[in-house]
């Protein structure tokens, strides 16, 4: 079976950008484990795309990332509700925006467009720089203080 490259084959040295780092922790073991797994899924997506795997393999990696992100957001939102977190709606809006980025990658993939490592990096960068390091840390701090 012919292999097609459905994600751009760019600089392979980018792999370190997709590695989980201990300073990304927000302080809740369950949330941190979820975040770490999201990085693993993104690394897998990048890996199968660079290796030029069949469309079905790349598509599954993208769907796995999308599904896990959705489940993670549901867990976070349940924690926010049970803690009466005052920033629940704002946090939900961030989740919706991040999910939209993943869905956009999926739509592009389904349309046969190349999804470059820059697209995946943009998603992770936004997720880590703003959401994990700021929004999620604020949530964890609030939950700790309210217990």
At 117 the pLDDT is: 65
What local confidence, expressed as pLDDT, does residue 73 receive? 96
Two structure tokens written together for 75: 């867990």
Is the whole model's pTM more than 0.75, yes or no?
A: yes
Give domain limits for the chain.
Answer: 28-146
pLDDT given at position 42: 82
- Rounded Cα gap, residues 146 and 66, in angstroms: 31
Span 58-76, average pLDDT: 93
Q: Which residue has the tokens 């949530």?
A: 139
> What pLDDT, on a 0 to 100 scale, did the predictor assign at position 91?
95
- Residue indicated by tokens 């997506």: 45
Q: 126, 134 in Cβ contact below 8 A?
A: no
**Is CATH 1.20.120.50 what the domain over 28-146 is classified as, yes or no?**
yes
* 42-63 residue pLDDT tens: 888 878 877 666 788 888 988 9
d(CA 83, CA 147): 9
CA distance 33 to 99: 19
pLDDT at 17: 58
- The confidence score (pLDDT) of residue 2 equals 37
Of 137, 58, 147, the residue nearest 105 (C-alpha): 58
Task: Extract the tokens encoding 125.
Answer: 């960068």
pLDDT in tens, 77-134: 999 999 999 999 999 999 998 899 888 888 888 898 876 667 766 777 777 778 888 9
Rounded Cα–Cα distance for residues 57 and 114 (Å): 14
| Tens-digit pLDDT profile for residues 4-55 | 444 444 444 455 556 788 888 999 999 999 999 988 888 888 788 776 667 8
What pLDDT was estimated at residue 18? 62
């Amino acid at each position: 079976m012919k292999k097609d490259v459905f994600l751009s084959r760019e600089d392979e040295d980018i792999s370190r950008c997709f590695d989980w780092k201990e300073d990304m922790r927000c302080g809740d073991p369950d949330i941190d484990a979820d975040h770490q797994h999201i990085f693993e899924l993104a690394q897998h997506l990048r890996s199968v795309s660079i290796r030029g795997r069949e469309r079905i393999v790349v598509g599954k990696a993208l769907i796995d990332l999308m599904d896990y992100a959705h489940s993670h957001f549901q867990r976070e939102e349940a924690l926010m509700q049970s803690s009466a977190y005052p920033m629940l709606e704002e946090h939900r809006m961030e989740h919706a925006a991040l999910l939209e980025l993943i869905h956009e990658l999926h739509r592009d993939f389904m349309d046969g467009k190349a999804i470059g490592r820059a697209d995946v990096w943009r998603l992770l960068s936004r997720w880590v720089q703003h959401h994990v390091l700021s929004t999620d840390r604020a949530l964890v701090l609030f939950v700790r203080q309210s217990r």
